[in-house]
Structure 1
Amino acid sequence: MRSKQDLVAALLAFPPGHPYAKWNGTHWRLVEIADCGVPVPSSRLEPGVASELTWLLPGLAPDQVLRVGGRARRHASIEGNAVYALSRLGYGGDDRTGRLVDALLDWQWPDGGWNCDRHPGAWRSSFHESAIPALALATYAAATGAVAARRAAERTAELLLEHRLFRSTSTEEAIHPSWTVPHYPSYWHYDVLIGLRLLAAVGRLGDPRASDAVDLLEHARRGDGRFAGRSWSSSRQPAAVDRGRGGENLLLNELAGTVLAERAAAGR
């Protein structure tokens, strides 16, 4: 199993080309570096941060934001991933990060999430586009004390809890099978692990409505204590670094283990 220091060293080799290039681009690398929690000199981060912000900031202009029925239709997971990474990597107080946060707050839908669906009939938020921005806002609030960001994240947490993190409110079945399996990295996809990470960030892991999702994560733990999980990368769209599968995936194991430890503490 590669160490987090080894992973960060490989991820810092920011490639040329568009930051969003799946799944090797700078956009995804910054999130994984942030998840590692390894101190990185700003001089090593700055090329990647500059590339990311040069791409994202022009898209915040009002004439670049599609609104249908008064609601912004955006892939808010993109700005969410950026805010999460920047907040974890020491850029929470940067005005540029603040501009991304302000945009996310402006784009949030009445039910507490976000959605990129352009159809006028779309009235509910997308979990794929909501959990990541909310985790980002909670992380930003922890770094800066921003009350509005924290409250916005709490609204999204309540939206997830209304569905027990993965269930249809009408049938009580899983909304999608992939939501019941932990993945790392999540990239822009939703599953119970990213949902539980959001609850942990806003202090809601002890909510009884999270129990079903916690049970799923518990069941993903193997006999050796490691976690069985999946990756969204493939031979056609390879990961930025080879971090192993399932039990060999260091960050999957660390993040899932932390969630369960915090849940146990919340239940005391």
Structure 2
Amino acid sequence: MDARRWTSEIQSILDRERANGGRFWSREDGNIHAPAGFSTLLVLNVLGELGATGNSHRVISEAVDLLFENQTDDGAFRYSPTSSKLPCITGQALAGLGRLGVAGDERAEAGYRWLLDGQWNDGGWRCATVKLGRSPETDASNPGATLFVLDALRFRDNTRSDERRLAGAVESLLRHWETRIPLGPCTFGIGSRFLKVEYPFWRYNLFYYAYVLSHYRQARGDARFIDALEQLRAHTNDDGELVIDTPPRAWQEYSFARRRQASTLATERWQEIQGNLNT
């Protein structure tokens, strides 16, 4: 990604770094996950999508430092100084670092190990804050958290042993395409909202689902993935561009995230999916 094409957009985002009252898009109370749609975690991921790197701007470099300030001794990331350690937050943090070219940092590796050590017995990842035994569906892993984790781990040089474990996570998401039922403590399901194309990537959604899974060889030839891909293809226009249905409201001023319009950046991700199918 050539960041020079997006210089004005990157600068506009950097200029808004105090938008939520705290440092580097965090909230005044230090929360880096709120507000939904324009948080530190999401902004760093979007900056990486635009081609920025962890050392390309002072503000980004210091925002990465803020991210690591929220890392615990065992490698997990918190969204605030007092929050629980959640796989979805750690996955989003590591995915952002990966997009910014910081995945090789030894502190990031500690986060990857924390995630791999916490993989749930059905292959995915689950928030441990909700007690077990409420129902089989609630006891299951969270598909949304699993998607964030798989997004993060695609930036890592995984061992064969790790790849076998990730195969279980991929299968859990492919299986969810079949069942579509709400799963995990946060009840992630697949319904009409899931099937509307969202960009930037910020929650469990058809486009994000297809994009992440396209990076895993196991998924590419699977009939369930192909079905999801065809449903995503239906959102392209006659020129092969991907049209965004529901971007986060805070991003709609940017050309790459306008509602019911083709997005150059999203189309490049769509083309990346096509390229992954041939590898």
TM-score interval (norm. to shorter): 0.7 to 0.9
Aligned twin of 1:5: 7
From 25, 33, 53, the equivalent of 1:20 is 33
Deviation string, structure 1 residues 177-220 (Cα, Å, up to 9, x no partner): 22222211232x21222222222212232222212101111111
Q: 1:241 to 1:40 in 2, by over 3 A?
A: farther
Superposition pairs for residues 27-66 of structure 1, below 5 Å?
27-39=41-53, 41-42=55-56, 44=58, 45-57=60-72
The AA in structure 2 aligned to 1:205 is: R
Cα displacement (A) at 1:158? 1.2
Query: In 2, Cα distance between the equivalents of 1:198 and 1:233?
Result: 19
Query: In 2, Cα distance between the equivalents of 1:53 and 1:123?
Result: 30
Contact 1:246–1:252 (CA under 8 A) maintained in structure 2: no
Superposition pairs for residues 1-268 of structure 1, below 5 Å?
3-13=5-15, 14-15=17-18, 16=23, 17=27, 18=30, 19-22=32-35, 23-39=37-53, 41-42=55-56, 44=58, 45-57=60-72, 75-116=86-127, 118-121=130-133, 122-141=138-157, 145-147=158-160, 149-164=162-177, 167-168=180-181, 175-187=190-202, 189-203=203-217, 204-231=219-246, 233-234=248-249, 238-239=250-251, 242=254, 243-263=257-277, 265=278
Cα displacement (A) at 1:41? 3.3
Deviation string, structure 1 residues 193-252 (Cα, Å, up to 9, x no partner): 222222221223222221210111111112343222233523xxx239633224343322
Greater share of helix: 1
Aligned twin of 2:186: none
Query: In 1, Cα distance between the equivalents of 2:231 and 2:106?
Result: 39
Q: 1:28 to 1:128 in 2, by over 3 A?
A: same
The AA in structure 1 aligned to 2:100 is: L
Q: 1:87 to 1:36 in 2, by over 3 A?
A: same
Q: 1:29 to 1:148 in 2, by over 3 A?
A: farther
The AA in structure 2 aligned to 1:11 is: I
Query: In 2, Cα distance between the equivalents of 1:229 and 1:200?
Result: 19
Give the paired residue count. Answer: 242
Contact 2:244–2:261 (CA under 8 A) maintained in structure 1: yes
Contact 1:138–1:149 (CA under 8 A) maintained in structure 2: no
The AA in structure 2 aligned to 1:85 is: G
Cα displacement (A) at 1:107? 1.8
Cα displacement (A) at 1:97? 0.6
**Tell me, which stretches of 5 or more residues in structure 2 are unaligned?**
77-83, 183-188
TM-score, normalization: structure 1? 0.77
Identity of aligned residues (%): 23
**SS class of match (1:98):** helix
Cα displacement (A) at 1:80? 0.7
Deviation string, structure 1 residues 83-116 (Cα, Å, up to 9, x no partner): 1121232222212111211111122101111122
